[in-house]
Structure 1
Amino acid sequence: MTVRVMLISPAMNAALREARFAGDAALDASGARAARLAAPHVPDADRMVHGPSERCARTAEALGLQSVDEPSLYDWELGRWSGARLDEVSAREPEGVAAWLGDPSAAPHGGESLLGLCARAGAWLDALTGDVRVLAVVEPSLVRAAVVHALALPPQAFWRLDVAPLTLTELTGRSGRWNLRAGRPLTGGPGDREAERGTP
C-alpha cells in the first residue's frame, strides 16, 4: 500500500514579502490571483486538508479545494518573534538568532525548536496509511520539515531547502520509506507565472 502526499505551499502574502516570522495574514491581491490561476493544475486527491493559518485557508479556497482544517499542521511556533521581521530580531537578539540557526534543539524565542517542528511534521506524515492520496496546503516550514523527516536528513538540511509560493512537493511511500518529487510550480504557462509575480 502506497501513500501519496502532495504538499502545496500557500500563495504570497504581505508577511512573506516582508520576511516576517510566522506572520499569519490574508493573501494579497497578486497571491489570490495566482492561486485562482493555479486551480486547474491541482492534482486530484482522496483527502484534502489545510493548515489552520489564514494564508493556508484562503489559498485552499482560491484553489477551489474542499479541504478541512488540520490543526496539527500549524506553522512553526516562534514565540515572541512571531510577526517580527528577521532583521529586527537579528538586531535585537543576535545571540538568540545565532543559537536558533546553529542548534536544532534551541528555541530562544520561547516557541518550538527545529527538532520539535520536524517531529510534529513527521508524526502527521507517518500516521498516514493505506493506498491513499492526501493533498495538504501547508506553510513552507511544514513542507521543509516533512522532507527532512521523510528522507531522514540531518536537521540542519532544513535551512538548505527552499519552498516557493504555490509549489507542489510530493512524497510517496510509507512510514520509514519515502520518495521525494521536489517542488514544482502550480502553473500552466507564462501568463500564470506573471500573475504569481504580481504583474497586473
Structure 2
Amino acid sequence: MTTRVMLVSPAAGDAQREVRFDDDGPLSEAGLRRARAVAGNLPSADRVAVSPSVRCRRTAAEIGLPGESEPAPSGCAMGRWRGRTLAEVAGAEGEGVSAWLSDPDFAGHGGESLRELCERTGEWLAGLVATPGRVLAVVEVDVVRAAAVCALRGPVEVFWRLDVPPLTVTELSGRGGRWNLGLGRALRRD
C-alpha cells in the first residue's frame, strides 16, 4: 500500500522576517491572518502530526487541524545560535556561518548538523511508511527541505537550494522506501 505524506509549512513568524535562527517565537499578525484565511482548505488525512514548535502548533490550530505535537519532525536544533539573527551570528562567528552553509556535517553551534536533521527526518518518514494511508503534518521549513532531500536521495548539500514558502503543501507518496515528490502547492481559499 502507498503512504502519502503531506507536509504543510507553517505561517510566517517574526523570526523569518528578522532572519533569526528559530527561537520558537509566535506567528506574526500577518501569518495569523493568512493561516485563518486558508482554514478548512486542507486535504483529508488518516493521521495528523504537528512539530512541537509554537509556530507549527499555532498554524495547525489556526487552519483547523487537530493534532498532537510530535518530537520526531521538530526543526533543526541550532544550539547557541537559537534566537540570534543571522547578521549577529555572522558578525561574531563568520567562519562558523560559512561552515554551516557549506558543510552538512557542521554542528559547531552546539546543535544538530544538517546531515543529522536529514537522517532524523528520513527515519521519521520510514516510520510513517509502516502504516499506509494519508498523513498531514505541519512541520518546520527545514523539515520539509530535509524530507525532500531524503525523498530524492539527494546529497545533503541541496538542502540550501530548496525554497519552501509559508503555508504550502509538499507531498510525498511512496512505498518500499521509494518516494515521489510533489512540491509547494499553495493552501488557498477556494
- Look up the match of 1:137: 138
Q: Deviations over 1:50-108 (max 9, x none)?
A: 00000000000001111111111211101000011111111110111111111111111
TM-score by length of 1: 0.91
Contiguous gaps of at least 5 residues in structure 2: none
Report the CA distance between 1:24 and its aligned residue. 0.9
Q: Which runs of 5+ in 1 are unaligned?
A: 190-200
Please say if 1:26 is aligned against 2:26. Answer: yes
Which aligned pairs between 1:2-21 and structure 2 lie closer than 5 A? Answer: 2-21=2-21
Equivalent residue, structure 2, for 1:146: 147
Q: Distance in 2 between matches of 1:23 and 1:13?
A: 10
Where in structure 2 are the equivalents of 1:108-147 lying within 5 Å? Answer: 108-128=108-128, 129-147=130-148
Give the aligned partner of residue 193 of structure 1.
none
> 1:156 — aligned with what?
157
Q: Which residue of 1 aligns with 2:55?
A: 55
Distance 2:176 2:149 in 1: 13
* RMSD of aligned Cα (Å): 1.1
Q: Which amino acid aligns with 2:74?
A: Y
Q: Which has the larger displacement, 17-26 or 132-141?
A: 17-26
- Helix, strand or coil: the match of 2:57? helix
Amino acid at match of 2:52: P
* Residue identity in the other structure for 1:75: G
The aligned residue for residue 90 of structure 1 is 90
Match of 2:173 in 1: 172
- Runs of 4 or more above 4 Å deviation: none
The match for 1:105 is 105
Cα deviation code 1:149-200 (max 9, x no counterpart) = 11101100000000111010000002521000001211137xxxxxxxxxxx
Name the CA distance, whole Å, in 1 between partners of 2:99 and 2:132.
41
User: Which amino acid counterpart does residue 151 of structure 2 have in structure 1?
Assistant: A
Q: Distance in 1 between matches of 2:81 and 2:163?
A: 21
Partner of 2:66: 66
Equivalences, count: 189
Counterpart AA for 2:79: G
Per-residue Cα deviation, 1:119-171 (whole angstroms, up to 9, x for no partner) = 01000001112331000000000000011011101100000000111010000
Worse-superposed segment, 111-120 or 69-78: 69-78
> In the aligned structure 1, how far is the partner of 2:97 from the partner of 2:82?
13
